[in-house]
Every structure is written in structure tokens, then in C-alpha cells.
Structure 1
Amino acid sequence: MSRFPVAPFDPARYIGTVCQIDPSMVRVNLPHAASPVSGHHAGYAMPAGQVGEFVLIEGEEYAIVGRITEVKLPERDRLTVEPTADTDSVANPIGLVQLLTSLELASGKAVRGIPALPRIAQHVFSAHPSLIKYAIEQGYETDRSIRLASLSHSLNTVVSLTPEALFGRHCAVLGTTGGGKSWTVARLVEEIVRLNGKVILFDATGEFKALNTGVRHVYLGGQKENDEDKREFVGYPFYQLSESDIFVLFNPTGASQAPKLREALRSLKLAHLCKDLAPEGYIPKINRTKEIVQQQLIQNTALLDQDGAFYDIQFLAKQIQEECAYPSANFGKDHTKWGDAGNELTYCTSLIARIETTLKSPFMACIFKPDGLIPLPQMVEDFMKSNHSALRISMEYLPFEHNTRELVTNAVGRYLLKLARTGSFRTNPTVVVLDEAHQFLDKSLGDEYSRVSLESFGVIAKEGRKYGLTTVLATQRPRDIPEDVLSQMGMFIVHRLINEKDRQVVERACGNMDASAAAFLPTLGQGEAILVGVDSPMPLPVHIIPPQATPQSEGPQYSSHWKAAASTNNGCTK
């Protein structure tokens, strides 16, 4: 027993005796649970029969860790706790204890499961916070661990987990609005920075702008307000989007517009490679000879099919007009030349108008006019070589129109996965944090002719681990995350969840969380969470340590502003 930080079976922490045994539950006599106040011993609280309390059941070879999930009085004793009751009567509360894990007494190791069930009349003790901390941490080096939280019933007892335990098999931070999810994300980022790790944070709302030490902030979308604006803006060039992404942005109709858009994109790529074919930036086809263009298309097939092949999108509308030429000149008699502009130009008028409007939009400049902006892929590569530990990509200025935000985020995820597959993260493992993950997962954009599935971060969750790229998904809507993605998560940090469907999704995804543990989720306070991990011996209720740089996630201060407005109005004469 000397391996434990404190004696597990301290007589002063005795609270009851086992009286009934089931495979996963035991019932315990709790003679001290009828007291209206809890006790203390050696400076630590000892509730002695409170719902949520961790207990240790004394065994011959194992100390079994359990948690009280229910306390009640037998019907015959129900009135004994009333102030008017006979003073000679004694209450005999009974507690229901969920069996969680075991501690081997000889070695001090935590053992998953219950190797030997308790026996009738075995003693039950209130678990010392240091023992619960010991069972979770299992001797990790605290200086190389992430100091994430403290025990809910002992705020002075800090729980530390290694990066491997938290991020090695991906992590999910779940919870409704106001539960403390953003604080947890900020705390994780700060701890990664402290350990000189690498983390890329996708900040969907800009609430993490207060992060400072070791963090590089870049803004995807928007523009500087003046010359004194020191913010660093980046772009995601249109030519690094896939053809399907471009189709979703411009939404061509399938029968008439989609083929012309596809041909126009290919022609503009050829125009960049063979500038003599495009003296004005696009390839003219109306009443022009086909031979040279077709030869160059064949010769440059490999280059045209490469990901990221450059083209000048400012000529896209004009190139579509050229693609609307009849396939043969002279009323179909001359197959060596294209003919005049046909009726298809009329069908493409709406597409051309959408393209011209979108290209002129100042909100889309980071995509379609990226000149002067550092491309985000280059920024990521520079970050991986730099001394910065965190890269925050703010998307607060990236528009929702045309599904731009979802498409660009998915494209960045696709790029990161490409880097991972080439081995870029093997010697420098990187964590990607995706805030508001429900916006970017389990969605299909476009129509039947141009459909894009937002699956890049789902693929990272499924196969990124073996390449050194893991992810943290933060969301307030677990039910909107695909279950095959949630099932890949090795660690769950679950804040307050009220919706029953959300709780059911978490129960199915977490092997260690059953209905008894999930029943505590709706009542968690702000900053409180339950840690559930693949390598964790049991669900653990904790209180997340506040980050040094708190996120700007608070809601509007109605009372203060309305009070100020009321004072102003009262001073006005009618």
C-alpha cells in the first residue's frame, strides 16, 4: 500500500458497508448520510454519502473505486429525519454505488474493470482526492503533462494528463453554450504552448484573439482598416480550391452551364501555360482554328490535371462566352474551326452574372484577389518551421455567402491532410483545433451536379493519427457530428449537455460513459466537465482551470446597458 499517495482505507474516512451486490452496482449502508452537513478530515471534505462522491470499497487484493449515484431512506425510516421525529429513532440511508475501476493493492496500478466483485459486509471509505488523482494520472511526469483541471470536490487537487492521453487519439470538447467549452479550448492551447508543442486553431468567431504568448494570429478574410493596423491578413488562392469547390461557389446548372464552366477552367489553365494562345489572357474560340489548342491540351494533360494548377479567374466570364461557340464553323461543315456564339451563351448568362458579381465582392477578395496576401498554405509551412507554438486562423471576416467559410475550411483541412501524408508532421506532431466543428462536418454542399462533402477533418480524425496530425473538435451540437468521427475520439471533455439526443450520442461514442454518468451532464456548472478517455479508468468530474487569456465568449450585458439607457431616457424632458 506504500505505493499510494495516501492510505486507501483510512478508518477516519469510513462511511458504510456493502449490503447488496450486482455486476455493476452495489448497495451500501450509509449511516452518516442522514446528516444535513458534510464533514472534513485532514483538511479535505468528506461528504460521507453524497451523490457524486467517489468511494473506495475494501477488497482482499483490490480497492474498488465507485461513485455514489443515489441515496435514499427506506420507507420505514422516511420520517426519522424530520425535526419533530422521536429523538431515539435512527435513520438508515442506503446508497447506490456505480463500480468504475480497481486499484491493485500490491502494485498500486489502476486496473480497468472489476477483477473481483465486492463481498457483503466489506467496508466502504470516502475516496481521498489524491487517490482519484493518482488513479487518473498513473504516475505521469507532471512537468511534461497538461495541467487541465482540478477535481470538482477538491479544487486544490490538480489533474494532469500527458499530451498522448489527451491528443494521441484525438479529443472532443462538447457542451452547450455557456458551459465553458471555449475556456477549455483556450486552456488546451495555452498548455500546448507551454510545452513547446504545435497547434493550429481555427477560430470561427474570433473569440480567441486574446491568446498571446507564443501565438501567431492571422486573419482569413477582411482587410486592414488603415496603415496603423498591425493585423496579419492571409488569403486562400482560388487556384488551390478543387474544381468541385469552384462549382459550389458559382452554382452552375447541370445541363447547360456546368460543362461550359468546366471547359472554361481548363482553357484558362492552358492559357497560363501557353501564353501565345491567349494574348488577352483567355483563349479565343469563336470562329478560331481548333488544331493548335487541341494539340496543346493533349500535350499538357498532366499539368492541367495537377492540383493547384494556376489560372487567371478574372477572365473566367469571358472564357465562358468563348466556350459557347458552335463546335463547328460554317453551319457544321467546317470541323477545323469553332463557329459563332450559339444559343448556349443565352443559357449561361445567369452564370456569367454570378461570376462577375462574386469576383467583385470585397468579402471574397481573400480568395479571388489574393495578390499582396500571404497564401494560407505557405503560412502553415512557415509556421511549422518557426518558433511559434500556436497559429490562430481567424475566420470571423470570412463570409457565409456561397458556403465560402465551409469550403475554405474544408480545403485547408484537405491541404493539412496532404502534408500529413507526405510525412511533414511525423517528427513534429501537430494538433488541429476546430472550433464550432458542427459547421464543417457531416455536410454536403451543392447540387447533384456539383456536390462537395465536407469530410477533410473527418478523414483527419480517421487516419491523421498515424501521420502525427491529430484534431480537437469543439462543438455545442454533438448530434451533428458523424458518429463514425466521434467514435475515433480517444478523449472526451464533456461540459453541460441538456439535449437528450446529444447525451445519447455521447453515451454511444464514449465506451466508459453509461446512463448513470451521463445523468450528471445536465447539472454541471460553468467550467465543470466530465473527462472520459479510452485510456482513462473511469469518468472523472473536474473543474477546468481558467485560461490566462480568457476568450471573448460572454453574452450581451443587458442589465448594464439597459440601465444606462434608462438613466439617459429619464433625464430627457417630455
Structure 2
Amino acid sequence: MTPRNQTGSTFSRKGAAAPTAEAFDMAFQDKPRVGSVVSVTGSHALVMLDADKPDADRASRPQLGAIMSVDAGSSIVLGLVSAMSMPAPSLDVATAEMRIIEIELIGEFMKPTINAPARFRRGVSSYPTLGDNVHVATRDELTALFAVNGAASVRVGVVKQDVQIPATVNVDEIFSRHCAILGTTGAGKSCAITLLLRAVLQRFPHAHVVVLDPHNEYSKSFGDGAVIFDPTNFNLPYWMLTFDELVEVLYPGRPRDSEEIEILADLLPAAKKMNLTGSGRAGRLRTDMTAITVDTPTPYRISELLGLIDRALGGLDGTRNVAPYKRLRSRIYTISQDARYAFMFGGLTVQDTLKDLLSDLFRIPVDGRPVSVIELGGLPAEVVQVVVSVVSRLAFEFGLWSNGAAPIALVCEDAHRYAPANPNEGFGPTRRSLVRIAKEGRKTGVSLWIASQRPTELDPTILSQCNTIFAMRLANQADQDALRAAVPDASTSLMSCLPSLGLGEAIAVGEGVPMPTRIRFDALPSGAVPRSLTACFTDGWSVDIEDNSFIDRIVEQWRAQRMLTPDIE
């Protein structure tokens, strides 16, 4: 921050000499004062406002959530207005009333020295003292504050306090330290995700982004910059499953027989080794046979696994129980023939397609399309859980073994479905994959973005690891409390505004933004707005459905467990 020059601007232009501390102080004193500090307790300060000035407009008066500045000697302390009150209102018009505001201290502008220019930093090293002057932060101060991210920042909207100030986010921070977009249904979460990603991709077109789309909303949001995967073109071979994932597929929500699982664990590596010793491509690869485990992602044939079970059955003596072998064989065969899992077991041949899958899924090379959108709408819940588990695990493993050379961002809509707060719900491998990314993804170059309308139903470990949060409208008190417990800054007072936020507005807190504040996202181009699936009752009930094939199409999709036609009118 630089002082007001002779042309009236608080900050000197590019190329101007660095301001002195004296000039910095003079610039601060030129601003209209609104009150003085009367109490300081920890991260909060009470300010007694001066008497009303008849010529003062609303923009120059403190409002809830506004950013205030306090001269604290060696620094200019910034704080958010968290409460306003008039302790003893008077009926006598002639009597001046006491007006108090409470500000939450967030950060400070360090005054310039001979060796260092003015700069903003979080936290407060020099607290205000009693009697210090308090001002509403000026437009120049806000501009400098929200521009501190420099070259690594992108614009995503405007600051609610002054719509002339662009709201920016730090790209490295919102990806490396994970991000959460939270808000009730219809608050604009999908539009916010699209806007954030489009802003980043415009600046960094060689990114690698995977969007898990449970409602098939994002197919048009990125234009030609996205590759769309749906059940018709997305193949995820069963041999890519880890042992835990395969067990969950075989026994979804059912009690597991320990004997069957032990048999599977013994025979699975043998089936993988049989394929490696064959004449196919996998057999020609140089693979250490002793390194093959139940989790090694190498191809094997279901027929060979079933054959191993049959051979084991034939070699059993009369003292061994054959029932676990028969049950396991029946379960494997049934799942392999299940039409819902055709994208895993439907291939006529078994080929090593891991390289091709990683290339297509994680967009390496990008080829002008940095986004992969995986449409999950219409698939059974068990199938969706398997897809999310495998994709998230592959992202982490790829980042681990590549040492983060090609960072990947995983965007998970409706994250509470895949990582619920109740450990007894959901699909165990999916939760573990997402929690692992949340905890360790920063070190492996894998970023996790989550979106949810119910923070209380989301695994608290994942939410606590999201160091940038965009909180949109939330009316439920329990969800607001969960969010207050997760915000990484001393900015819980802003959360009181959650029920009153407008469409497209958010409370932005965390490492990715200069300081906690209320922002309004920019509008998306009409062609990029995610497709809303909200049913319109008045339109639907205004006309009669006379199409005789309407029910036929519904039944066909229902039985196939797949959206065969994207639009039904």
C-alpha cells in the first residue's frame, strides 16, 4: 500500500517511488474517521462511532461485514464488522446516542520501510490501542488488498462492499490446499464451480481437471474444452479394482464370509500371474512375478479365476467345507453378468488398457481439452460409488508415482454421498480414497474440490482439510454450526450472513483469498450455465402428456438402469 499522491490517489502508480512511513501516515489521516477504539479483547475490538454527519452517505458508514482499518502504529490493522448495537437508545432527539460496532481483527498492512514496501499479511502483530482512529477501508485499500495474489491469481467476481473491486483467488492455494463450495440446493454451487474452473483454465489451459458429475449438468459448461464420459463410452476394467473395492462390489451392503474372502485373496494373485505368463501384451511386459499382489493393477480373466476355484474344489478332500468355494464362485459369476457393471465386465477380451485410460481420463496430453466430465446420473448408487472410488484412487496413485509432475484436480459434486459423516454409511473404499487425497494430496499434486448442500452429513476430516471455503446460502442451523467449526480463519462472524446471501453470493474464507469477505460471483455466459434439473411443476401441470410412447421410454430406462435418451418431453 502506498500513500495518496498529489493527484488524490491513495496508492502510487506503477513505477513510482516507494512511499515513506511518514507519507503513509499522512495518507491514512486523510481518510474520514468513523470512530475510535474503546476496547480490545483478543481478536476483537469495540469501536465507538462518532456523531452522525449529515452529509455522509451510506457508503462511508460501517455496515455488517464491511472491512475497517485501524492505525496501530507500525501497521494498519484490518477487521470485519461483526456486530452493531446501540446499547442505550434515547427518545430525546437532541441527545447524542452511543453507537458501538464490534470488529473482528483479520490481518494488517505493514507500513513501508527503507528496505521493504508496504505489504499485507494475515494475523495481527501490533494490536490497536484505546483511542486509535478507525476508518472504513477505502477503494484503493481494498484494491491493493485483493490484488496481493499477483500473477498466480484470477478474478472470480466482485467484493460485495464495493462492486468496483474485483474478487480474486490464488490458484496455487485453492488447488494445493483443497477447496469446498457449500450451500443449499439452488444457491448456485454448480455455477460457482464452473465459473472458478473456467477462470483458472483461461489462465492455465494445460490443467488436468476431472469432474464427477452425479446430475449430468456440466456437459456444455466447458464447450470444446471438455471430454464427456458416460456409460456408453466409459470403460473401467474390473482388474483395476483393489481387493477392498472388489470385495465391496461382490458383497454390497451384505455380511461377508471370512472364508470366502480368504479364498479370493489366495486365488486372485494366481489369476493375475497366469495372464502375465501368457502370450498377450501383459505377458510381454517385464513384471516381477513376486511383486504381484491382490492390489496390483494388472489384467486377469474372470474365466481363469473361476477355473482356479473349480480346480480348488476338485482338489478338496472330504474333510474340507466346499460351500464357501461354491458361494464365492456363484457371486463372482453373478456380478460379472450383471448389466449394471457392463462397463467393468462387459469386454470380450482382456487387454492392458491402463495407460490409455490414464491418458484419456487425466487429459495427458491435454490436446486443447483439459477437463474430463464423468456423467454418473442415472446409474445405480452402488455403481456410482465404485466409479468414484476407482477414479479418486487412480488420481492419487498417479500423483504419487509421478511425483506430482502433472497435478490433477478432482471435483466431487454431492461429496456427502461418497464420504458421509456416519462411518457405517456409504462405500468404504470411496471414503478412504477421498480422505487420503484430503490428507496427502497436497504432497502428490492431487487437489480435491468438494461441493455439498449438507456440511453436517460430510466427513469432518475432509471438510477440515479444505483450506479455502466458498460458503453460499445455508439456512439450516446445524449446517451453519458445522461450517463455523471448519472455517480456517477467525471469521466466524461472517457466517451469520449465510441465511441472507443472495443467488451467486458467497462468504469466501481461507488461504485462497486475501482475507475473508463477502463476494458476488461473476455471471456465466448463457451457454456455460450448468443444466439445471429442477422440475417445473407449473409447466408440467399446464399440459397433458399425449405421447403414447412416453411411459414406454420411462420403463425402458428404468429396467436398463441407464438414461437411454438425455431429454424426455
Fold in common (TM above 0.5):
yes
Deviates more, 1:311-320 or 1:94-103: 311-320
Residues 312 and 523 of structure 1: CA distance in aligned 2, closer, same or farther (over 3 Å): same
Q: Is the 8 A contact 2:395 2:408 kept in 1?
A: no
Query: In structure 1, how many angstroms separate the alpha carbons of the residues matched to 2:421 and 2:383?
Result: 13
Aligned-pair distance for 1:371? 5.4
SS at match of 2:465: coil
1:392 and 2:402 aligned: no
Deviates more, 1:466-475 or 1:500-509: 500-509
Q: Which residue pairs with 2:70 in the alignment?
A: 57
Q: Which residue pairs with 1:159 in the alignment?
A: 167
Q: Which residue pairs with 2:106 in the alignment?
A: 100
Deviations 1:24-74 (A, max 9, x none): 322223346799x9826xxxx33x132222222234332221222222223
Q: 1:6 aligns with which of 7, 10, 13?
A: 10
Query: In structure 2, how many angstroms separate the alpha carbons of the residues matched to 1:72 and 1:58?
Result: 23
SS at match of 1:176: coil
Query: In structure 2, how many angstroms separate the alpha carbons of the residues matched to 1:324 and 1:114?
Result: 72
Residues 16 and 246 of structure 1: CA distance in aligned 2, closer, same or farther (over 3 Å): same
Aligned-pair distance for 1:240? 0.8
Query: In structure 2, how many angstroms separate the alpha carbons of the residues matched to 1:207 and 1:263?
Result: 43
Query: In structure 1, how many angstroms separate the alpha carbons of the residues matched to 2:515 and 2:39?
Result: 22
Residues 475 and 563 of structure 1: CA distance in aligned 2, closer, same or farther (over 3 Å): same
Aligned-pair distance for 1:119? 3.2
Aligned-pair distance for 1:160? 1.9
Deviates more, 1:491-500 or 1:525-534: 491-500
Query: In structure 1, how many angstroms separate the alpha carbons of the residues matched to 2:273 and 2:73?
Result: 79
Q: 1:313 aligns with which of 299, 302, 323?
A: 302
Deviations 1:402-454 (A, max 9, x none): x332223222222222221222632x33322222222223689999xx97463
Q: Which residue pairs with 2:567 in the alignment?
A: none
Unaligned runs of 5+ in 2: 12-26, 280-287, 546-569
Unaligned runs of 5+ in 1: 81-85, 224-232, 277-298, 333-341, 567-574
1:70 and 2:83 aligned: yes
Q: 1:465 aligns with which of 424, 435, 442?
A: 442
Residues 58 and 559 of structure 1: CA distance in aligned 2, closer, same or farther (over 3 Å): farther
- Flag the structure with larger Rg: 1
Deviates more, 1:251-260 or 1:206-215: 251-260
Deviations 1:476-512 (A, max 9, x none): 2333444443333332222223344433443333331
Aligned-pair distance for 1:238? 0.4
2:62 partner letter? G
1:176 partner letter? T
Aligned-pair distance for 1:354? 4.3
1:181 partner letter? K
Deviations 1:339-366 (A, max 9, x none): xxx8625x66665554444333333111
Q: Is the 8 A contact 1:55 1:126 kept in 2?
A: yes
Q: Which residue pairs with 1:364 in the alignment?
A: 341
Q: Which residue pairs with 1:432 in the alignment?
A: 410
2:141 partner letter? L
Q: Which residue pairs with 2:39 in the alignment?
A: 20
Deviations 1:350-388 (A, max 9, x none): 655544443333331111114599957624324211323
Query: In structure 2, how many angstroms separate the alpha carbons of the residues matched to 1:119 and 1:358?
Result: 71
Query: In structure 1, how many angstroms separate the alpha carbons of the residues matched to 2:334 and 2:31?
Result: 76
Query: In structure 2, how many angstroms separate the alpha carbons of the residues matched to 1:529 and 1:377?
Result: 40
1:254 and 2:257 aligned: yes
TM-score, normalising length: structure 2: 0.77
Q: Is the 8 A contact 1:192 1:389 kept in 2?
A: no
Q: Which residue pairs with 2:150 in the alignment?
A: 140
Deviations 1:61-120 (A, max 9, x none): 32221222222223242x35xxxxx5x444442222222222223332113323333233
How many percent identity over aligned positions? Answer: 21
Query: In structure 2, how many angstroms separate the alpha carbons of the residues matched to 1:366 and 1:243?
Result: 18
Spell out the pairing of 1:101-250 with structure 2 (5 A cutoff): 101-106=107-112, 107-138=117-148, 140-141=150-151, 145-195=153-203, 196-198=205-207, 199-213=209-223, 215-220=225-230, 222-223=231-232, 233-250=233-250
Query: In structure 1, how many angstroms separate the alpha carbons of the residues matched to 2:64 and 2:297?
Result: 58
Q: Which residue pairs with 1:408 in the alignment?
A: 387
Q: Is the 8 A contact 1:167 1:490 kept in 2?
A: no
SS at match of 1:101: strand
Query: In structure 1, how many angstroms separate the alpha carbons of the residues matched to 2:347 and 2:423?
Result: 24
Q: Is the 8 A contact 1:182 1:553 kept in 2?
A: no
Q: Is the 8 A contact 1:203 1:394 kept in 2?
A: yes
SS at match of 2:174: helix
Deviations 1:261-290 (A, max 9, x none): 4455455435535669xxxxxxxxxxxxxx
Q: Is the 8 A contact 2:159 2:518 kept in 1?
A: yes
Query: In structure 1, how many angstroms separate the alpha carbons of the residues matched to 2:377 and 2:534?
Result: 20
Query: In structure 2, how many angstroms separate the alpha carbons of the residues matched to 1:451 and 1:112?
Result: 38
Aligned-pair distance for 1:254? 1.1
Q: Is the 8 A contact 1:257 1:348 kept in 2?
A: yes
Deviates more, 1:383-392 or 1:180-189: 383-392
2:228 partner letter? V
Residues 259 and 60 of structure 1: CA distance in aligned 2, closer, same or farther (over 3 Å): closer
Q: Is the 8 A contact 1:28 1:96 kept in 2?
A: yes
Q: Is the 8 A contact 1:17 1:123 kept in 2?
A: yes
SS at match of 2:456: helix
2:165 partner letter? T
Query: In structure 2, how many angstroms separate the alpha carbons of the residues matched to 1:512 and 1:468?
Result: 24
Q: Is the 8 A contact 1:398 1:404 kept in 2?
A: no
What RMSD over aligned residues (CA atoms) do the two structures have, in Å?
Answer: 3.6
Query: In structure 1, how many angstroms separate the alpha carbons of the residues matched to 2:431 and 2:176?
Result: 23
1:508 and 2:485 aligned: yes
SS at match of 2:314: coil
2:220 partner letter? A
Q: How many residues align?
A: 503
Aligned-pair distance for 1:303? 4.5
Q: Is the 8 A contact 2:142 2:165 kept in 1?
A: no
Q: Which residue pairs with 1:325 in the alignment?
A: 314
Query: In structure 1, how many angstroms separate the alpha carbons of the residues matched to 2:53 and 2:303?
Result: 78
Deviates more, 1:368-377 or 1:502-511: 368-377
Aligned-pair distance for 1:542? 0.8
Residues 417 and 13 of structure 1: CA distance in aligned 2, closer, same or farther (over 3 Å): same
